[in-house]
Structure 1
Amino acid sequence: MTTTAPSDLRPDPARPPGDGSLAEFGYRQELHRSLGRYASFAAGFSFISVLTTVFQFFAFGYAFGGPVFFWTWPVVLVGQLAVAACFAELAARYPLSGAIYQWSSRLAGLTFGWFAGWIMVIGQIVVVAAAALALQTVLPAIWPGFQLVGGDPAPTSPDGAANAAVLGVILLVLTTLVNMLDNRVMSVVNRVGVTAEIIGAILIVVLLLTHSRRSPGITFHTQGAAGPGLLGALLVGSFTAAYVMIGFDSAGEMSEETHHPRRTAPRTILTALGAAGLLGGLVVLGGLLAAPSLTDGHLGVDGLSYVLTSSLGDGVGKLLLADVVVAIAVATLAIQTAACRMLFSMARDGQLPFSARLAHVNPRTGMPAAPALVVGVLAAALLLLDFASPDAFLAIGTTCIVLLYLAYAMVTGPLLIRRLRGTLAVEGTDERGGTLFSLGRWGVPVNAFALLYGLLMALDLAWPRAQVYDPAGGHWYFQWFTVLFLAATLTIGAGYRTVRKHRTPRGAVPEEAVQESGVRVGRGVGRGTRSNAV
């Protein structure tokens, strides 16, 4: 007999985890499970994409923070490692696509989890657009012919902003096609790209450090900083590190396509962030030490592309920039893939419009094609903002970071509450019989630090600083873009949930209760039965 549940809290599986089967969560295996440990690592590393994001935001960090902005890097890395450690625990216990949505809904209820997933997927779509814009910081430096619009390649100029949008749309067409082909093709492209990026990043670090013009002591100076004082320089300069070190949860997003996910995903989440954090910090330091000048204005406008070509020569510099182009392409692909898995996971539970279509997996390719098309089209539409104003570039980049940080906090917050109540499941084994990853007695302090750090960083990023978001003046909406975008995201989400609730036929069992009771709710929703164990 079916009964309704008193709340929409999603329970843990009836039996202890261990076999990695989706059946214990009420789902069928539809995505092809073909990714090994390196491919899982590549999923997280390519989303972070050190070369993409450092080259994209180095100039901004230096312009506002000066050389001292380097020290924001280890601070952000420590904070994100705390978040990643919490995620590693959850990846071991809930190896499901749509990680943020799945984790949050199982910790705090389906409604809360829906909003976490909604914020996350919108943030991911914005990140896709921001990553595609990074081509403008590299391609014109390799060959002026890549400047298809106008003659000024600077991303902050009208010509550069418009050209960035054109190049970004071209890249999105390619990544969308790959995301619709086959997950094995996507995996190969991702692994090859990540390997090339790691090799390129190491070469860049070695060459920059061997071409140093000054000592590391320069990182204690704020010369040339536009930020208001040392604290202001550090707060704004932290944007670079904050933008780089996101997306490590992608290894969890790909859990349903990974062999031994309970064992693999926690390790690759941490190793992807750790490797990216180390390499990225060295690239930033190398750029500061090898720059021809810290005061001629080039470093705050042209960034690392200027350092490579001027310090290493056009030949070597442009060869390394070509590797950065590969990194940007692979990063855009990986971020789009993560957004597709989030849409797929939410649609599979019937939580989005056109759920049946979005949750459909091609049995031959093992890929949900509709989400790839949706993400590609929406990201391309966001790029059109660059035609309106060059300031849109920074607005888009900052907005996506804030959304992801808030979505992360919607996982670490409920997780901390479960820890304090003593209701977090800590037992279980992975696919090889080993103990699941756990923070043990360090769980509460690490979790609390992760939550506090995430909320403070989101506040720092979203703060409407006119000198940052509207330096030319006259565009108040860019100054408040992040706040307005977040408000619009929440309003649209709440409106959809309200309309959806009122459209439930009278006398019908609410979907949350149906999912709780373990009743199949139709095509694309649950794909099976859910356990009603507590």
Structure 2
Amino acid sequence: MTQDTGYAQELQRGLSLWSTFSIGFATISPVVGIYAVVSLGYVTAGPSWVWLIPLVLVLQLTVATVYAELASQWPIAGGCYQWVRRLAGDRTGWFTGFLYLASAIASLTTVAYLGAPWLWSLFTDEVLSSGGRVACGVALLLLAVALNQLGVNPLKWFLNAGIAAEAVASVGISIALLLFFRNHDLSLLFEGPSNGGGFAGFLAALAVGGWAFLGFDACSQVSEETVDPQREVPRAILRSLTSVGLVVLLTGLSVTLSYGDVAAAESGETIDPVYAAVVEAFGAWAGKPFVAVVLVAFIACAVSILTYIGRAMYGMARDGMLPASHVLRRVSARKVPHVALWVTTVLAALGLLLGLNGDAAGTLIAFGSGGFYIVFLIVTATALRARLSGRWNPAAGALKLGRKGLVLNVIAVIWLVFEAINVAWPRACLAAPGAPWIVVWAVVTVFSALTVIGVIYLVVARPHLRVATSESFAELEESR
């Protein structure tokens, strides 16, 4: 029994600050973040898209600070589900956890979809078909779940390898591009899109750019596997987001200033400006090694996302909050929630089927990030209301910010109201050409459907009433 969670200790508590930081860093992933959005940023806002990076970083740090305060007081697997349940009740907590799982699984699907071309490019230069992209995405998911089954200690070593790959692919190459292969002066960074996208293009780029700053909450999901979590998890949350944000800014600047054919990037003719900039600068010989390094970073990102989704699902299942909770809460001999990991993998693989009808990158990015911003808003708004009503005393946690915490909480809520609407806004420019309306409206339609499904399940199954009689609480009473 652990005093800091109130649950029987089933997971292995062996993660240091660095290891927890690694999970957050690999999940946010500067490689996955910047390489996924740079092309869409160019198309929607031109070279000036890079200024969105520091703007979103600063605003997302206000959200991360609220999460850090909550994690310092309740360092429990389940994260946002556990916090909202304590501050707003079991119904709201369940609904938040339900949307969180849906959003996180969508983000895992997106990472697998975006990583698939890198896996394909490692072995062949042939054109990747839609079916081939789905197959490669499934292969990445299977590799991620296999690595997760090994346990937390082998996982730490792989994530360290992922961070090393991030350092090479982002920091090392970016510095080289800026120092030796720059083709434009700084004035380029103030040029808007040649297609005249204007303010609408800026908003679209801001919606896409939000994808690069998701995942810091992964640190809170492994709280029960972190040593001294009240202090180390908040530090990991803030440090992972800050470090990734700075790396993303460096990479964005280097690629924008070094890639020669700006017109091709803005028109979308250059599908991947990052790869094109590297090959243009270093030569064709650098193509395959660069692909291999980027692929390692994508795999590490998929592994870390699967890691925290598995813990989130486990955290809800042990409270009896999910269908078949008695199965989903099972922990293997290696101290990992193996059933939850496999269920997550299957659901993420099903999401890849969206890519069979053409390029779904823009749709999946919007869908993957849209749900997260809704969940972020629920958590920060709940925290603000509880803070103002006196139901929550942030000073009771290890992270004590005083009045600054309140100000940051208010800013976070305002920002998330705007960005949640902005990401969900239907935009044909982010969908494949000729895509049906259901794809353009994917965020609105899918999450509206999920809300209806969630409400029906809440009314019919009444999962919020199972918490007090769940197996975990029964075991708690028996141990006393």
Per the normalisation by structure 1, the TM-score is: 0.85
Structure 2 CA distance for partners of 1:323 and 1:24, relative to 1, 3 Å? closer
Q: Does the alignment pair 1:319 with 2:289? A: yes
Task: Find the aligned partners of 1:491 and 1:371 in 2 and give their Cα distance.
Answer: 24
**Residue 182 of structure 2 contacts residue 258 of structure 2 at CA under 8 Å; is this kept in 1?**
yes
What CA deviation, in whole Å up to 9, does each residue of 1:252-280 have, x standing for no partner? 11100001111100111000000000000
What CA deviation, in whole Å up to 9, does each residue of 1:336-394 have, x standing for no partner? 111111110000100000001111112x201011111101001111111211332x332
Q: Residue 171 of structure 1 is aligned with which of 140, 156, 159?
A: 140
Task: Find the aligned partners of 1:404 and 1:366 in 2 and give their Cα distance.
Answer: 28
Structure 2 CA distance for partners of 1:82 and 1:53, relative to 1, 3 Å? same
- The alpha carbon displacement at 1:438 in A equals 2.1
- The alpha carbon displacement at 1:182 in A equals 1.4
Q: Residue 465 of structure 1 is aligned with which of 427, 442, 450?
A: 427
What CA deviation, in whole Å up to 9, does each residue of 1:430-465 have, x standing for no partner? xxxxxx112211122110110111121111111012
Q: Does the alignment pair 1:222 with 2:192? A: yes
Task: Find the aligned partners of 2:300 and 2:269 in 1 and give their Cα distance.
Answer: 26
Structure 2 CA distance for partners of 1:113 and 1:499, relative to 1, 3 Å? same
Structure 2 CA distance for partners of 1:137 and 1:452, relative to 1, 3 Å? farther
Question: Pairwise mapping of residues 22-171 of structure 1 onto structure 2 (< 5 A)?
Answer: 22-23=2-3, 25-145=5-125, 147=126, 151=127, 153=128, 159=129, 161-171=130-140
Structure 2 CA distance for partners of 1:421 and 1:524, relative to 1, 3 Å? closer
**Residue 169 of structure 2 contacts residue 293 of structure 2 at CA under 8 Å; is this kept in 1?**
yes
Task: Find the aligned partners of 2:363 and 2:382 in 1 and give their Cα distance.
Answer: 29
Q: Does the alignment pair 1:406 with 2:374? A: yes
Range that drifts further, 296-305 or 250-259: 296-305
Q: Which residue of 1 aligns with 2:418?
A: 456
- The alpha carbon displacement at 1:185 in A equals 1.7
**Residue 208 of structure 2 contacts residue 423 of structure 2 at CA under 8 Å; is this kept in 1?**
no
Q: Does the alignment pair 1:241 with 2:202? A: no
Q: Residue 337 of structure 2 is aligned with which of 355, 368, 374?
A: 368
Task: Find the aligned partners of 1:126 and 1:239 in 2 and give their Cα distance.
Answer: 16
- The alpha carbon displacement at 1:162 in A equals 2.8
- The alpha carbon displacement at 1:225 in A equals 4.3
Q: Which residue of 2 aligns with 1:331?
A: 301
Q: What amino acid maps onto 2:171 in structure 1?
A: I
**Residue 50 of structure 1 contacts residue 279 of structure 1 at CA under 8 Å; is this kept in 2?**
yes
Q: Which residue of 1 aligns with 2:442?
A: 481
Q: Which residue of 2 aligns with 1:359?
A: 329
What CA deviation, in whole Å up to 9, does each residue of 1:78-112 have, x standing for no partner? 11100001111111100001101111111111111
**Residue 208 of structure 2 contacts residue 366 of structure 2 at CA under 8 Å; is this kept in 1?**
no
Q: Does the alignment pair 1:393 with 2:361? A: yes
Greater fraction of residues in helix? 2
Task: Find the aligned partners of 1:469 and 1:298 in 2 and give their Cα distance.
Answer: 13
Q: Residue 209 of structure 1 is aligned with which of 178, 189, 194?
A: 178
Q: Does the alignment pair 1:347 with 2:317? A: yes
Range that drifts further, 31-40 or 215-224: 215-224
Q: Residue 523 of structure 1 is aligned with which of 462, 471, 474?
A: 471
Q: Which residue of 2 aligns with 1:518?
A: none
What CA deviation, in whole Å up to 9, does each residue of 1:302-331 have, x standing for no partner? 221111112221223432332111000000
Whose radius of gyration is greater, 1 or 2? 1
Per the normalisation by structure 2, the TM-score is: 0.94
Q: What amino acid maps onto 2:260 in structure 1?
A: P
**Residue 291 of structure 1 contacts residue 307 of structure 1 at CA under 8 Å; is this kept in 2?**
yes
Q: Residue 389 of structure 2 is aligned with which of 421, 425, 429?
A: 421
RMSD: 2.0
Structure 2 CA distance for partners of 1:36 and 1:25, relative to 1, 3 Å? closer
Task: Find the aligned partners of 2:283 and 2:408 in 1 and give their Cα distance.
Answer: 45
Task: Find the aligned partners of 2:406 and 2:107 in 1 and give their Cα distance.
Answer: 31
- The alpha carbon displacement at 1:208 in A equals 1.5
Task: Find the aligned partners of 2:207 and 2:289 in 1 and give their Cα distance.
Answer: 28
Q: Does the alignment pair 1:308 with 2:278? A: yes
**Residue 39 of structure 2 contacts residue 273 of structure 2 at CA under 8 Å; is this kept in 1?**
yes
- The alpha carbon displacement at 1:131 in A equals 0.3
Q: Does the alignment pair 1:282 with 2:250? A: yes
Q: Which residue of 2 aligns with 1:7?
A: none
Secondary structure of 2:113's counterpart equals helix
- The alpha carbon displacement at 1:50 in A equals 0.8
Percent identical residues: 30
Q: What amino acid maps onto 1:523 in structure 2?
A: E
Structure 2 CA distance for partners of 1:527 and 1:284, relative to 1, 3 Å? farther
Task: Find the aligned partners of 1:128 and 1:377 in 2 and give their Cα distance.
Answer: 11
**Residue 134 of structure 2 contacts residue 352 of structure 2 at CA under 8 Å; is this kept in 1?**
yes
* Structure 1, unpaired ranges of 5+: 1-20, 154-158, 430-435, 505-509, 516-520
Task: Find the aligned partners of 2:161 and 2:152 in 1 and give their Cα distance.
Answer: 14
Task: Find the aligned partners of 2:253 and 2:158 in 1 and give their Cα distance.
Answer: 29
**Residue 363 of structure 2 contacts residue 430 of structure 2 at CA under 8 Å; is this kept in 1?**
no
Secondary structure of 2:335's counterpart equals coil
Q: What amino acid maps onto 2:111 in structure 1?
A: A
What CA deviation, in whole Å up to 9, does each residue of 1:3-30 have, x standing for no partner? xxxxxxxxxxxxxxxxxx7445431110
Q: Which residue of 1 aligns with 2:228?
A: 260
Task: Find the aligned partners of 1:197 and 1:260 in 2 and give their Cα distance.
Answer: 27
Task: Find the aligned partners of 2:473 and 2:453 in 1 and give their Cα distance.
Answer: 22
